[in-house]
Amino acid sequence: MIRIGIYTLPLNYNYGGLLQAYALQTVLEKMGHEVKILNRPLHVSEPFWKRPREKAKRVVRKFLMGQHDVQVFLENNEAKAYPIISQNTQRFIDCHLHTVTVRDTHLLKNADYDALVVGSDQIWRCAFHDTKRKLYDAYLAFAKSWKVKRIAYAASLGTDKWEYNAEKTERCRQLIQKFDAVSVRESSGVGLIKDHFGVEATHVLDPTMLLTEKDYEPLFLGKTEKSDGKLMSYILDDTEEKRKIVDKVSTQIGLNTFIVNAQADNTSLPIEERIQPPVEQWLRGFYDAEFVVTDSFHACVFSILFGKQFVVIGNKDRGMSRFESLLSMLNLKDRLIDHCENESILIPSSDLSRAQALLEEKKIVSLNFLTKALSTWN
């Protein structure tokens, strides 16, 4: 048995982030290992002197420019709102994830771990780390002197363009050289890691795809209410264009639409409208649906896992390479749409059963990567 620490993005109310952590934990535990997820608190109140320029701009906008909806102390307000918004997802974390709260990574001890696994999700996306230290910690800078196995599983850069400046590239190159095994979630990441870090990386599946629908069913069957409809709409970044696409698909295939997510990030809404529904109810949506319309990478993943017809609306702000890599690998690129010019949506005809077969082949590669990385002990 190996004692493993998983280093991923902070756990919050994002369904995909929670379920990729759950899946990786589950797979590693099935292999016989002891697993802890190193969870860093997401929301911390800030004194006024932190980011003073930003707060000064908000004062001007609110009191001098009459923009009354501007929140001067947004970070503090969100820190207070977060426990309410995340009450359902926090229950999932408490019940199903084996976590260690990490307020300072430098307080972690080598003696507690035999291996550290970085991933998955966009853990290596530069824009997702507001300080250089946090980015470098994603490459295990806090453990640079540890005698420990270092593995990256399905780490994502989030984009097919290189976002690191010269300083960050060089520092992360030095850190990744210490890794024993590196894998990435997107095919484009293989080339980027090779070109900029000089490291060979293996292309693997997102951890959620290492489990099956049957593995997820115990989380929600008998514990959730049946969804109120047969067309599941899960839109992260709501726009009028996306609502039109959902309506057109609903009309064309004659299915009633149901929505699972709240607008958790919309700070202008009353707090009760921002409470994120339970993870279990979100999973139940895929089980009940006949068709899914989404702009979410992980909703795309679970549509495939549950064998549901779907279309995914390209989400350029959150990174297109994730969608393109996954759908190309499974011959499902016709599922990706980015606009709605015509009166109707071309419903895709790609073979989901063929995609399932391709998925099984890639699953073998991905599990073999993990098994080999953890078995070759120094």
- Among 35-44, 218-227, 292-301, which is the least confidently predicted range? 35-44
Among 64, 91, 118, identify where a domain stops.
91
Q: Provide the pLDDT for residue 79.
A: 80
Is pLDDT above 70 for 146? yes
Instruction: Find, among 44, 45, 42, 46, the residue nearest to 13 by Cα.
Output: 42
Does residue 49 sit within a domain? yes
Q: 251: domain range?
A: 213-347
Mean pLDDT of the chain: 90
Mean pLDDT of 129-142: 96
Same domain, 116 and 220: no
CATH code for position 272:
3.40.50
Work out the widest C-alpha separation in the chain, in whole angstroms: 64
Mean pLDDT of 264-279: 92
Same domain, 171 and 227: no
Q: Provide the pLDDT for residue 348.
A: 86
Tell me which H or E stretch contains 3. Answer: strand 3-7
Same domain, 67 and 147: no
Model confidence pLDDT, tens digit, residues 8-55:
999 999 999 999 999 999 999 999 999 999 999 875 444 444 555 665
Top pLDDT among 352 and 377 is at 352
Report how far residue 86's alpha carbon sits from residue 43's, in angstroms, rounded to the nearest whole number: 11
Does residue 353 sit within a domain? no
pTM of the model: 0.90
Report how far residue 152's alpha carbon sits from residue 139's, in angstroms, rounded to the nearest whole number: 9
Mean pLDDT of 120-139: 94
Q: Provide the pLDDT for residue 48.
A: 43
Within 8 A by CB and 6+ apart from 329, the residues are: 187, 358, 362
Mean pLDDT of 93-117: 96
Model confidence pLDDT, tens digit, residues 309-360:
999 998 777 778 899 999 999 999 999 997 766 667 888 888 899 999 999 9
Top pLDDT among 347 and 222 is at 222
Is pLDDT above 80 for 73? no
Q: Provide the pLDDT for residue 62.
A: 56
Same domain, 64 and 33: no
Total number of domains constituting the chain: 3
CATH code for position 23:
3.40.50.2000
Same domain, 192 and 244: no
Q: Provide the pLDDT for residue 77.
A: 72
Within 8 A by CB and 6+ apart from 225, the residues are: 281, 284
Same domain, 111 and 160: yes
- Among 54-63, 224-233, 296-305, which is the least confidently predicted range? 54-63
Q: Provide the pLDDT for residue 47.
A: 46
Same domain, 10 and 70: no
The fraction of the chain above a pLDDT of 90, given in percent, is 77
Conformation bin of residue 307: beta by default, left when phi > 0, alpha when psi is -120 to 50:
left
Same domain, 259 and 126: no
Same domain, 127 and 79: no
Unique residue bearing structure tokens 């095919």: 187
Is pLDDT above 50 for 262? yes
Contact 298, 208 (CB under 8 A): yes
Same domain, 28 and 169: yes
Q: Provide the pLDDT for residue 263.
A: 86
- The number of CA neighbours under 13 Å toward the Cβ of 225 is 7
Model confidence pLDDT, tens digit, residues 74-84:
566 778 889 99
Same domain, 147 and 271: no
Q: Provide the pLDDT for residue 345.
A: 81
Does residue 97 sit within a domain? no
**262 CB burial (10 A radius; 0-12, 13-18, 19+):** middle
Instruction: Find, among 223, 287, 222, 221, the residue nearest to 260 by Cα.
Output: 287
Same domain, 83 and 185: no
Does residue 352 sit within a domain? no
Model confidence pLDDT, tens digit, residues 165-186:
999 999 999 999 999 999 999 9
Does residue 356 sit within a domain? no
Does residue 96 sit within a domain? no
Report how far residue 278's alpha carbon sits from residue 179's, in angstroms, rounded to the nearest whole number: 36
